[in-house]
Amino acid sequence: VHLPGGQDETIRPLLTELRQEAERRQPGYRFRVSALCLAVVVQLVRRLQQHAAEEVANRPSRRAHLALHVREFLLKNLHRELH
pLDDT band at 10 (very low <50, low <70, confident <90, very high): confident
SS3 55: helix
Please provide the DSSP assignment of 19-42 as one string: HHHHHH--TTHHHHHHHHHHHHHH
Q: What share of the chain is helix, strand, coil (3-state, %, to 5)?
A: 70, 0, 30
> Taking the model in full, what pTM does it have?
0.57
Whether pLDDT at 82 is above 60: no
Sign, CA dihedral 11-16-22-24, equals negative
